[in-house]
Amino acid sequence: MSSNKGIIINGGNFNITNMVSGDQVINYGTPNEKVKEEQNVKYDVVFSFAGENRELVREVATILISKNVDVFYDEVEQILLWGKDLKDHFKRVFGSSGRLCILFMSKYYLQKSWCQYELGIIKIHKNCSDGEYILPIILDDTPLPDGMENLAHLDGIGNTSEQLADFIFQKIYLKMKSNY
Report the CATH number at residue 145. Answer: 3.40.50.10140
pLDDT band of residue 147 (cuts 50, 70, 90) is confident
Number of domains, the chain: 1
Residue 13 lies in a domain: no
Residue 19 lies in a domain: no
pLDDT for position 179 = 67
Q: If we measure between CA atoms, which residue out of 60, 39, 66, 160 comes closest to residue 102?
A: 60
Q: If we measure between CA atoms, which residue out of 63, 58, 48, 38 comes closest to residue 170?
A: 63
Residue 14 lies in a domain: no
11 Rama class: left (phi>0) / alpha (psi -120 to 50) / beta:
left
Residue 23 lies in a domain: no
Distance of CA 140 to the CA centre of its chain: 19
In tens, the pLDDT along 18-44 reads 333 444 433 434 444 333 444 578 999
Residue 114 lies in a domain: yes
Radius of gyration for the alpha carbons in the chain, expressed in angstroms and rounded: 17
Q: Which domain holds residue 115?
A: 31-178
- CA atoms within a 13 Å half-sphere pointing along the CA-CB vector of 132: 19
Q: What whole-number distance in Å separates Cα of residue 169 and Cα of residue 157?
A: 19
Residue 22 lies in a domain: no
pTM of the model: 0.76
Question: Do 140 and 40 contact (CB within 8 A), yes or no?
Answer: no
Q: Cα dist. 154→24, 28, 61, 90 in Å?
A: 32, 26, 16, 24
pLDDT reading at 125 higher than 90: no
Q: What percent of the chain has pLDDT over 70?
A: 76
In tens, the pLDDT along 72-85 reads 999 999 999 999 99
Residue 21 lies in a domain: no
Q: What whole-number distance in Å separates Cα of residue 73 and Cα of residue 137?
A: 16
pLDDT for position 175 = 85
Residue 165 lies in a domain: yes
